[in-house]
């Protein structure tokens, strides 16, 4: 394709049309010049397709924290390649992933979707993931550029980051990936960075990204994350998504060109990026968009199962209780979330999985009929009551609710449409109106003071017969959180009699549009939940404890469901929901059984007040649709755990570096990264008493010894590297893997620097009784820091240390090397 020639043929109106999406998921096509549209799709751990929920089924892969815990670059590449194949089945040529923002706080609602607290580990794994995608002809979209380390007020918060922390930490994973993998697309974040919205931030998009890093790909906004016309065009935002454009409407752009605020050369540069993207993704050769298909590939099933298991981190294994020997067991209790498949966190990363393997079913299949398998739920974990569906009929007597949509703001006048919906929850994407009503006749199958739960985007009233049960007088301040089920509902009880008919009516009014609304501004949405009193108040706790009381082993499954750990909503505590009930279950089970194993499904670290009372703990993350099999493979020793923590697990929330500055001043919409460059292990190296489990830590069913550690050179020169080699010997009874981690410690100097920083790693698999060679290269960049005084990278001369270990605190060897002269260099 001759891009300059094609660019010259475009009219101004056609050029402008290419600068915003055609619809929610596709770029604009121009039939006159045979310019095709390109379809993109979420997301990081599965290619969902066009529907946010209930769409065509897709494979759900391990979430990014699970992949990061493997420390396996090749596995990340293979997952990227598999996601490219999944994209083909959804007609997409670009995947909106990977997310590489760092884990600044364990409360980050979207941490599970990102990788690590460390920029080097994040950048290296993300680069491999990107290469896997793009080698198969599918674009990657690295995101969110930049400073999107929280969900609270994410569309309006101003992130104040010092220049050094920005360069050394928060931009570094993007820089590594751009330089090593050249993602075909990059997505800007919603937030402001140092006073400017990311989509209109010329320093980030032009100075850093394009000039300093040499990026030549497409820059797109997050969905609804374009905040200006002039600033975003001049800064370097190529594409406003979704379409049709609000800030890229033809009249708005034309008027700014006529005023001289935007030059034609800028328009042409933005259009050329879009054309280059279409060319790279092969759309000119294959212009058609194929229909979405659900293709459940056996090779993807195997990759998901293996990847999920490889990422599991064994945190504790007292008395070598693991792996379990099924031949020696007569009874096993699996309590808590054993019948939940926590495959992924919530939000845009969610997919409608082909299937989900729950742990209890995987245990049944693996333990066999000779082992008694007991179960106890322990308690309810829902954030919102289940959608109301049972025993309701619409106004015509059919199952469901009658939905009426009105142009008016108060449900007055004749409705513009009347339909029936299956449940009491409703949120159409893009279809706006003034108000809605939901009505049904409820005929209880059982008497009781049943539980009702309700939340809405706009102001609402809920009546049972003529009695007001809910009166929501304020608009929801977190529309995205509402969309993804992260907004907690109002709850009430109402006394119902079996067989009696009750008329239920909801009236909900369109919310006001404000800067935080984004693409959901003005949309109506309601969630109406219901649960029988008898079900809600059932004593599940005692039943679970009783199930565990006399079992040979008690497996307690705990974690966060997608409504608790989700995009659009940060966590408020490191304590597991709800209100510590899961912690109480673990403690109660440990009081009646001495062989307790805790399995944690979260993307974030959690508080562990019961740690001393249990024999074993495994951090299983969100391992994808094969979750049950992955977990049981590790429990029973089919897989020797080799996962290593990609973040530090602190003792408590108050022991975290951003504790006093997360999520910031939400009233003034300001957050200050006052901890500077000391997040994660950089902080805990100076405060070791605050860490429960260190960065890079993970046990194995084998024991490894690192021997014969050597440096190939005692001098590190600009533009060069040094290589560390080590022999990894497996002293254990089974094959396993070890990660050799290399950190660099600087000499004493005038600049306060972290004690050490990760500079390289190598994962090796070793057979029992054998050895394998690990090789790690440390580049010159690893010894640099950002000089705010000079606005350049700087390295001072002196004797450095290459610190070799199996975690940030488990150090095997320390070798010295020298940088002979002070060096500064441009980014």
545 phi and psi, to 5 degrees? -65, -40
In angstroms and rounded to an integer, the radius of gyration of the C-alpha atoms of the chain is: 27
User: pTM for the whole thing?
Assistant: 0.96
Write out the two tokens for 310. Answer: 């490889």
| Whole-number Å distance between alpha carbons of 210 and 825 | 18
pLDDT of residue 486: 79
| Whole-number Å distance between alpha carbons of 759 and 744 | 6
805 phi and psi, to 5 degrees? -155, 180
User: What residues have CB less than 8 Å from 309, skipping those under 6 apart?
Assistant: 623, 629, 630, 631, 633, 634, 639, 641
Write out the two tokens for 222. Answer: 């997050």
pLDDT of residue 501: 97
Q: Helix 119-134 vs helix 172-181: angle between axes, to the nearest 10 degrees?
A: 30
- The per-residue DSSP string of 344-363 comes to S-BSTT---BS----HHHHH
Tell me the per-residue pLDDT of 261-278, one tens digit each, with 9 for 90 and over.
Answer: 999 999 999 999 999 999
pLDDT of residue 750: 75
HSE, side-chain direction, 13 A CA sphere, residue 646: 36
pLDDT of residue 516: 67
Q: How many CB atoms lie within 10 A of CB 820?
A: 11
Give how far Cα 132 sits from Cα of 83, 126, 139, Å. Answer: 8, 10, 10
HEC readout, 393-456: ECCCCCECEEEEEECCCCCCCCCCEEEEECCCCECCCCCCCCEEEEEEEECCCCCEEEEEEEEE
SS3 527: strand
SS3 342: coil
Residue (of 61, 67, 159, 150) closest to 110 by Cα position: 150
pLDDT of residue 519: 79
Using the Cα atoms of residue 248, residue 249, residue 254 and residue 256 in order, give the sign of their dihedral: negative
Question: Catalytic positions, please?
Answer: 222
Give the single-character DSSP code of 715.
B
Q: Give the chain's length.
A: 827
> 202 and 175 in contact (C-beta within 8 Å)?
no
Give the single-character DSSP code of 268.
H
pLDDT of residue 512: 86
pLDDT of residue 430: 67
Domains of the chain, each with CATH number or no CATH:
19-280 (3.20.20.300), 311-379+540-673+683-693 (3.40.50.1700), 392-422+427-524 (2.60.120.260), 704-825 (2.60.40.10)
Pairing verdict, β 372-376 and 331-336: parallel
Q: Return the residue matching tokens 């009014």.
A: 509
Q: Return the residue matching tokens 């209930």.
A: 54
Tell me the per-residue pLDDT of 22-56, one tens digit each, with 9 for 90 and over.
Answer: 999 999 999 999 999 999 999 899 999 998 888 99
Q: Return the residue matching tokens 């402001």.
A: 192
SS3 470: strand
Give the single-character DSSP code of 74.
H
N-to-C CA span, the chain: 33
| Whole-number Å distance between alpha carbons of 725 and 734 | 24
Q: Return the residue matching tokens 């990264």.
A: 673
Regions of the chain where pLDDT drops below 70: 430, 515-517
HSE, side-chain direction, 13 A CA sphere, residue 684: 25
Q: How many CB atoms lie within 10 A of CB 432?
A: 12
């Amino acid at each position: 394709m001759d891009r300059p020639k094609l660019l010259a043929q475009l009219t101004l109106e056609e050029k402008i049309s290419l600068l915003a999406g055609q619809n929610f998921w596709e770029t604009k096509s121009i039939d006159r010049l045979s310019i095709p549209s390109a379809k993109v799709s979420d997301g990081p751990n599965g290619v969902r397709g066009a529907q946010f929920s209930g769409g065509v089924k897709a494979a759900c892969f391990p979430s990014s924290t699970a992949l990061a815990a493997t420390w396996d670059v090749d596995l990340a590449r293979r997952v990227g390649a598999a996601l490219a194949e999944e994209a083909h089945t959804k007609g997409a040529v670009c995947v909106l992933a990977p997310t590489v923002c760092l884990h600044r706080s364990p409360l980050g609602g979207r941490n599970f979707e990102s990788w690590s607290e460390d920029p080097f580990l994040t950048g290296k794994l993300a680069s491999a993931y990107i290469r896997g995608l793009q080698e198969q002809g599918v674009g990657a979209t690295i995101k969110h550029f930049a400073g999107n380390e929280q969900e609270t007020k994410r569309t309006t918060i101003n992130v104040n980051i010092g220049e050094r922390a920005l360069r050394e930490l928060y931009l570094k994973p993007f820089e590594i990936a751009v330089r090593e993998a050249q993602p075909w697309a990059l997505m800007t974040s919603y937030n402001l960075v140092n006073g400017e919205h990311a989509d209109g931030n010329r320093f980030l998009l032009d100075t850093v990204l394009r000039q300093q890093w040499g990026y030549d790909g497409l820059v797109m906004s997050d969905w609804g994350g374009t905040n200006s016309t002039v600033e975003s065009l001049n800064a370097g935002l190529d594409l406003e998504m979704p379409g049709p454009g609000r800030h890229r409407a033809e009249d708005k752009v034309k008027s700014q060109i006529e005023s001289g605020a935007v030059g034609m050369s800028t328009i042409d540069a933005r259009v050329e990026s879009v054309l280059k993207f279409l060319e790279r993704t092969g759309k000119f050769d294959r212009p058609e968009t194929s229909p979405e298909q659900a293709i459940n590939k056996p090779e993807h099933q195997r990759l998901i199962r293996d990847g999920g298991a490889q990422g599991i981190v064994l945190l504790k294994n007292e008395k070598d209780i693991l792996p379990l020997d099924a031949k020696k067991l007569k009874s096993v209790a699996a309590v808590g979330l054993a019948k939940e498949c926590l495959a992924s966190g919530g939000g845009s990363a969610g997919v409608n999985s082909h299937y989900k393997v729950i742990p209890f079913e995987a245990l049944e299949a693996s333990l066999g009929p000779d082992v008694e398998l007991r179960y106890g739920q322990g308690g309810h974990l829902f954030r919102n009551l289940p959608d109301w569906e049972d025993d309701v009929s619409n106004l015509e007597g059919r199952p469901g609710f009658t939905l009426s949509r009105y142009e008016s703001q108060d449900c007055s006048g004749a409705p513009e449409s009347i339909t029936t919906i299956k449940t009491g929850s409703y949120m159409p994407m893009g279809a706006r109106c003034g108000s809605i009503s939901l009505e049904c006749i409820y005929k209880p199958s059982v008497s009781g003071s049943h539980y009702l739960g309700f939340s809405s985007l706009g102001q609402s009233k809920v009546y049972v017969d003529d009695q007001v049960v809910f009166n929501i007088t304020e608009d929801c301040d977190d529309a995205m959180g509402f969309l993804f089920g992260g907004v907690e509902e109002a709850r009430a009880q109402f006394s119902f009699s079996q067989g009696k008919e009750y008329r239920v009516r909801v009236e909900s009014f369109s919310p006001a549009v404000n800067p935080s609304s984004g693409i959901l501004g003005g949309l109506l949405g309601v969630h109406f939940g219901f649960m029988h009193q008898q079900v809600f108040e059932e004593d599940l706790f005692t039943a679970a404890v009783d199930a565990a009381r006399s079992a040979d082993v008690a497996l307690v499954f705990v974690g966060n469901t997608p409504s608790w750990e989700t995009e659009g909503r940060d966590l408020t505590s490191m304590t597991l929901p709800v209100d510590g009930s899961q912690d109480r279950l673990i403690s109660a089970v440990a009081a009646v059984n001495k062989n307790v194993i805790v399995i944690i499904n979260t993307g974030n670290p959690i508080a562990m007040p019961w740690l001393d009372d249990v024999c074993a703990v495994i951090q299983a993350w969100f391992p994808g649709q094969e979750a049950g099999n992955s977990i049981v493979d590790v429990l029973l020793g089919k897989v020797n755990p080799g996962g290593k923590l990609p973040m530090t697990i602190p003792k408590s929330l108050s022991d975290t570096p951003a504790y006093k500055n997360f999520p910031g001043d939400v009233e003034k919409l300001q957050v200050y990264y006052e901890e500077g460059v000391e997040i994660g292990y950089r902080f805990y190296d100076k405060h070791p008493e605050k860490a429960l489990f260190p960065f890079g830590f993970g046990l194995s069913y084998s024991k490894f010894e690192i021997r014969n550690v050597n440096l190939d050179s005692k001098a590190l020169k600009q533009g060069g590297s040094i290589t560390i080699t080590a022999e990894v010997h497996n002293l254990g009874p089974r094959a396993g893997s070890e990660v050799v981690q290399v950190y660099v410690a600087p000499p004493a100097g005038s600049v306060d620097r972290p004690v050490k920083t990760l500079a390289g790693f190598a994962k090796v698999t070793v057979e029992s009784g054998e050895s394998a060679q690990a090789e790690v290269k440390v580049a010159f960049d690893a010894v640099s820091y950002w000089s705010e005084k000079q606005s350049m990278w700087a390295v001072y001369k002196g004797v450095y240390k290459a610190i070799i270990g199996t975690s940030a605190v488990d150090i095997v060897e320390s070798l010295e090397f020298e940088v002979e002269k002070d060096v500064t260099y441009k980014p």
